[in-house]
Amino acid sequence: MFKYLLLKEFQLIGRAKNGLLSLISLLMAFLFIFHYSLENSGKLDVNSIVGLKWAGIFLLAFILISQVTYEERESGAYRITRLYIPSHLEFLAKSFVLFFLLFLVEIFLLLLLFLFFENLHFALENLLGQFLYFIPGTLSLSFLGVTLSQMSFATRLKEVVLPILLIPLSIPVLIAGMEAERKYFSKGEVSTSSLIVLFAFSILYLSLGLLLREVGED
Amino acid sequence: MNTSILSCKNLSYTIGYKKIFKNISFEIFASDFTLLTGENGSGKTSLLKLILQSSRKKEFSWDENLLADKERNLISYLGHENGLYSSLSLRENLTFFNRILKHPMPESRINTLLDLFHLTKRLEDPVSTFSEGMKKKSGIIRALLVRPALLLLDEPLNGLDIESTQAFLKVLNTEFADTSILLVAHEIDKISPFVKRRFHIYKGELNHV
């Protein structure tokens, strides 16, 4: 049953190609503005680039979460699917697909950062080191986003509730991610404790999603 | 004597400050066709949605044999929304919903329903490109994929042409004779030949008519 859910989610993404393209355009515009306004007047240091990157990740997650859950809210298909499928499977399938999508766009984000900002040197080690932090950070945001979008579906205010809940609960992940990467760039090695903190957030938000899934029902 | 498949006792329900139901009780019997009527805003849709959540509500109790049945889904539902993914084609929607059922319907049967509602030619088109009537018919086909213990239909005749209305009522009467149906409608004349029982909601109370 899980594979049918995944197939459906990927079919929905396939139909939302234009949305993804507009997201990539937005990302390019966002970074270009910083490049043009700041990089030209003095190169941005690595710490600022890391902050910029996590701000970009938050922006992407915020838009993608709204996009991947929009259709189900609008057409009532979500309510029907949950009549026949255990809610935890629906939650896991949607979180997985959101993670996959975010990860794809984040690769693009990294490449753009290398292109726009000189202080971020393109090297394979650099790339792998950053992906190590991306994975748990993105997992956390995916679990959190799907949980909150399902909860907001059940409220009368619908999508208005989503940003109100998403912003404060994302901030700890963003701070942990930025701190982890700053340590990585200053010391040149992956900090296990930072990784544990980020994975702990993933597990926390996964558990939250599984425990609160009944709240997301009508 | 008909056996009760679902009973509801002393259900009260409020939305915000508005009291929708005051201690209502009712039973749904096996293979019964029940019509639910009431003024706009009286709580008909709310009642269907509460039945959708009945497994988690203490006021409702289902026949235990039905709960244990691994071959039969408990409920199928058609609400005001058609319950289809609008950017997917009709075929993709029906394939998905058919696959997740306990007892998927054979493809030949789906094709018969598509022919009946004149939707075969639009099978590959996204549901978002359909007219309102076609969306309603697609939603009906989706709801009829299931052979449930209880079929909940919320104003299914809205937006249907005469031919589709007749076809739909015929399918309900012939092929869903062993299914309990709870149908919300204002077109009582069209439905009344099939109805065995009628509930009417008025000022938060449910009356057996």
ipTM: 0.85
**B88/A218 touch (CB, cutoff 8 Å), yes or no:** no
* Distance in angstroms (rounded) separating the CA atoms of residues A127 and A106: 11
Predicted local distance difference test score (pLDDT) of residue A216: 60
Predicted local distance difference test score (pLDDT) of residue A218: 56
The candidate with the shortest Cα–Cα distance to A60, out of A92, A27, A93, A108, is: A27
Q: What are the tens digits of pLDDT across the range B83-127?
A: 999 889 999 999 999 999 988 889 999 999 999 999 999 999 999
**B100/A4 touch (CB, cutoff 8 Å), yes or no:** yes
Neighboring chain B residues of A154 at a CB cutoff of 8 Å: none
Predicted local distance difference test score (pLDDT) of residue A215: 65
Neighboring chain A residues of B88 at a CB cutoff of 8 Å: 8, 11-12, 15
SS3 for A169-212 is HHHHHHHHHHHHHHHHHHHCCCCHHHHHHHHHHHHHHHHHHHHC
Predicted local distance difference test score (pLDDT) of residue B179: 92
- In sequence order, what DSSP letters do the residues of A1-68 get, joined into one string? -HHHHHHHHHHHHHHTHHHHHHHHHHHHHHHHHHHHHTGGGSPPPHHHHHHHHHHHHHHHHHHHHHHH
Three-class DSSP category at B5: strand
Per the CB < 8 A criterion, the answer to whether A16 and B87 are in contact is yes
Residues of chain A with pLDDT under 70: 156-159, 214-218
The candidate with the shortest Cα–Cα distance to B21, out of B44, B51, B53, is: B44
**B88/A12 touch (CB, cutoff 8 Å), yes or no:** yes
pTM of the complete model: 0.86
Distances in Å between the Cα of A81 and the Cα atoms of A31, B68, B93 are 39, 20, 11
Helix (H) or strand (E) holding A125: helix A124-154
* Distance in angstroms (rounded) separating the CA atoms of residues B87 and B20: 35
Give the pLDDT band (50/70/90) at residue B72: confident
| Average pLDDT in chain B | 91
Q: Is A183 on the interface with B (CB under 8 A)?
A: no
Longest dimension (CA), chain A: 58
Chain B, nearest residue to A81 by Cα: B97
What does the pLDDT average to over B155-165? 91
What does the pLDDT average to over B145-168? 92
Chain B, nearest residue to A7 by Cα: B96
Predicted local distance difference test score (pLDDT) of residue B1: 55
| Average pLDDT in chain A | 85
Q: What are the tens digits of pLDDT across the range A188-207?
A: 888 889 899 999 999 999 99
Q: Is A20 on the interface with B (CB under 8 A)?
A: no
